[in-house]
């Protein structure tokens, strides 16, 4: 009888541990229940693909080995609806990464889907040598969202291609070659844009875009300077700051570093300066207020142009403005965009001034087969309509601010949460070994937290030079109720992780 009782107790402990329980000898069993997922009024179709193992085999044998996946057991996704994703077994997940900030208005948004389906039955493709109303009407609608003199558009297919073209524009217009970008910047992985991208994991061991120079990223959390009044965000760093209102000493220090770059590694005249309004791949890094405005003035004095990479920050995601550059009070010479422009449809664009467009086309005979694509015009137009009609920029501001402030509270509770930052629905949670040292949390621990969040029903992104930052950028239709669920899941994952840490189980 005693043996049966002991066996039952051991089985109970094992069961509770598998269900999220935390038990240690001499203490009462405490069960961690997973947060309750909000309801969803969508039922996915039954998955009738090949078996999971067959898909995985194809992936390993026939795909590029560089195409890595999230999670120990990669997710096989089957269907999506607005902010929700469903895997091949019907499990539901709240998508907090939007296919790497690509789903802007929601997976299979009804308005966008209906517009695409209608056009599919009419005409898929022409090319720029023909006219089609959908492309021209979309161009007019998109250009209306830009201030003067940004009024000429070039359609392309991806963010890398858009940035490639912007580099050519800058060089042809200025007749100079040197282009500056931040350390930690990601602007694509084409042969040309490899020179702009400064994240070590993406740097090839072969020749890449030449005459591209790096400058220090003005990161007020991880950089040498920064404090509690530096960035344009509802949440500031916990670093001490002796700045006064209207005078950011960190910004001044980073501007001095930028001047050093101009004096040492580039020619007296340069082609341009590339910058994301907020760095995406590097972990939602924000610069000191007024930095971009002053940096651009320095670039202008050297004959260069400013290119704003809006691939991740554009189309209302930051909430306060439709384009990220507007939040910095600066007017770029060239703007590139992709990802959210088509809500998952592969398209991109470059917008510039008539003057730059003219000097570019005099030197470069550029042609793009898909630039006159009716499908792109219809889908891009439907995305703009959805953003406006559904109030998604406003929701990004309201729900994003709500979520950001709730996530920021985690710094007070967990020593491994070093920084929470962002604007609208573009949020970064930087994880550290401890808040004093700010050393990145080891990859093994990041992976464990990441897996735990997935198991409880949220898909969250990763970023940072050391993969130490969780990236939160859901479709812009997410609700406050769903934001609450996401924060609860992340809180639960951190609590479980700290308990494992305390027991030495990592």
pLDDT digits (tens, 9 = 90+) for 101-130: 999 999 999 999 999 999 999 999 999 999
Q: In 364-479, which residue ranges form alpha helices assigned H by DSSP? A: 374-389, 392-408, 410-413, 443-455
**What's the pLDDT band for 442 if we cut at 50, 70, 90?**
very high
In DSSP terms, which residues pair with 247 in a beta bridge? Answer: 244
pLDDT of residue 32: 67
pLDDT of residue 483: 98
Q: Thinking of the domain 26-95+392-503, which architecture would CATH place it in?
A: Alpha-Beta Complex (3.90)
The DSSP annotation for 180-242 comes to EEETT-----STTGGGT---GGG--SS---SSEEEE----TTTSSS--TT-BSSSS--SS---
Element housing 417 (H / E):
strand 417-423
Whether residue 26 is predicted with pLDDT greater than 90 in this model: the reply is no
Q: Where in the chain is the domain with CATH 3.90.1150.10?
A: 26-95+392-503
Whether residue 1 is predicted with pLDDT greater than 80 in this model: the reply is no
Query: Comparing C-alpha atoms, which of 399, 409, 434 is closest to residue 318?
Result: 399
Share of residues in the chain with pLDDT > 90 (%): 81
Whether residue 20 is predicted with pLDDT greater than 60 in this model: the reply is no
Q: Contact, 173 vs 356, CB < 8 A?
A: yes
Taking the C-alpha atoms of residue 151 and residue 139, their distance in angstroms, rounded to an integer, is 10
Q: Where in the chain is the domain with CATH 3.40.640.10?
A: 111-389
Element housing 351 (H / E):
strand 348-352
Mean pLDDT along residues 463-491: 98
pLDDT of residue 355: 97
pLDDT of residue 206: 74
Whether residue 347 is predicted with pLDDT greater than 90 in this model: the reply is yes
**Helices 110-120 and 374-389, interaxial angle, to 10°?**
160
Mean pLDDT along residues 78-95: 96
DSSP type of residue 127: -
**What's the pLDDT band for 66 if we cut at 50, 70, 90?**
confident
Which tens digit of pLDDT belongs to each residue from 386-439? 999 999 999 999 999 999 999 999 999 999 999 999 999 999 999 999 999 999
Tokens of 338: 């992709």
What is the three-state SS of 285-332?
ECCECCHHHHHHHHHHHCCCEEEEECCCCCCCCCCCCCCHHHHHCCCC
Average pLDDT, the chain: 91
pLDDT of residue 18: 36
Mean pLDDT along residues 35-57: 92
For residues 212 and 14, the model is more confident at 212
Of 85-94, 182-191, 241-250, 413-422, the range with the lowest mean pLDDT is 241-250
For residues 350 and 64, the model is more confident at 350
- Answer yes or no: CATH 3.40.50.2300 is held by domain 111-389: no
pLDDT of residue 229: 86
**What's the pLDDT band for 349 if we cut at 50, 70, 90?**
very high
Of 240-254, 313-327, 330-344, the range with the lowest mean pLDDT is 240-254
Which tens digit of pLDDT belongs to each residue from 162-212? 999 999 999 999 999 999 999 999 999 888 898 899 888 877 777 777 899
């Amino acid at each position: 009888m005693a043996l049966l009782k002991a066996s039952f107790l051991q089985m109970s402990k094992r069961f509770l541990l598998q269900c999220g329980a935390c038990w240690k000898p001499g203490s009462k069993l405490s069960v961690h229940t997973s947060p309750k997922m909000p309801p969803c009024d969508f039922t996915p179709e039954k998955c009738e693909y090949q078996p999971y193992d067959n898909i995985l085999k194809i992936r390993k044998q026939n795909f590029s080995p560089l195409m890595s996946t999230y999670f120990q057991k990669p997710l096989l996704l089957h269907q999506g609806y607005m902010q929700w994703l469903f895997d091949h077994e019907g499990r539901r997940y709240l998508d907090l990464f939007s296919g790497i900030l690509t789903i802007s208005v929601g997976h299979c948004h009804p308005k966008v889907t209906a517009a695409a389906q209608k056009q599919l039955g009419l005409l898929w493709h022409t090319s720029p040598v023909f006219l089609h109303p959908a492309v021209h009407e979309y161009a007019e609608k998109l250009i209306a969202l830009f201030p003067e003199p940004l009024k000429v558009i070039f359609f392309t297919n991806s963010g890398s291609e858009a940035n490639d073209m912007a580099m050519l524009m800058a060089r042809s217009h200025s007749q100079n070659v040197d282009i500056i970008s931040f350390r930690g910047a990601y602007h694509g992985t084409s042969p040309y844009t490899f020179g702009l991208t400064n994240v070590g994991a993406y740097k090839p061991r072969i020749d890449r875009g030449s005459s591209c120079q790096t400058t220090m990223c003005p990161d007020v959390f991880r950089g040498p300077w920064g404090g509690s009044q530096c960035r344009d965000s509802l949440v500031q760093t916990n670093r001490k700051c002796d700045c006064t209102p209207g005078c950011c000493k960190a910004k001044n220090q980073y501007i001095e570093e930028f001047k050093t770059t101009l004096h040492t590694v580039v020619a007296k005249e340069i082609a341009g300066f590339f910058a994301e309004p907020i760095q995406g791949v590097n972990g939602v890094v924000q610069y000191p207020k007024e930095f971009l405005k002053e940096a651009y003035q320095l670039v202008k004095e050297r004959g260069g142009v400013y290119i704003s990479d809006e691939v991740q920050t554009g189309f209302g995601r930051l909430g306060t403005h439709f384009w990220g550059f507007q939040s910095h009070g600066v007017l770029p010479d060239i703007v590139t965009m992709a990802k959210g422009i088509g809500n998952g449809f592969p398209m991109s664009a470059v917008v510039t001034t008539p003057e730059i467009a003219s000097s570019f086309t005099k030197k470069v005979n550029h042609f793009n087969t898909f630039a006159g694509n009716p499908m792109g015009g219809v889908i891009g137009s439907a995305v703009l309509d959805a953003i406006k009609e559904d109030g998604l920029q406003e929701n990004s501001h309201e729900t994003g601010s709500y979520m950001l402030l709730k996530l920021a509270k985690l710094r007070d509770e967990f020593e491994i949460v070093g920084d929470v930052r962002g604007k609208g629905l573009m949020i970064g949670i930087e994880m550290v070994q401890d808040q004093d040292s700010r050393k990145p949390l080891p990859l093994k621990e990041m992976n464990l937290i990441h897996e735990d969040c997935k198991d409880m029903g949220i898909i969250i992104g990763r970023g940072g030079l050391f993969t130490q930052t969780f990236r939160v950028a859901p479709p812009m239709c997410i609700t406050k109720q769903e934001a609450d669920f996401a924060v609860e899941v992340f809180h639960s994952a951190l609590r479980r992780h700290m308990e494992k840490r305390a027991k030495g189980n990592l």
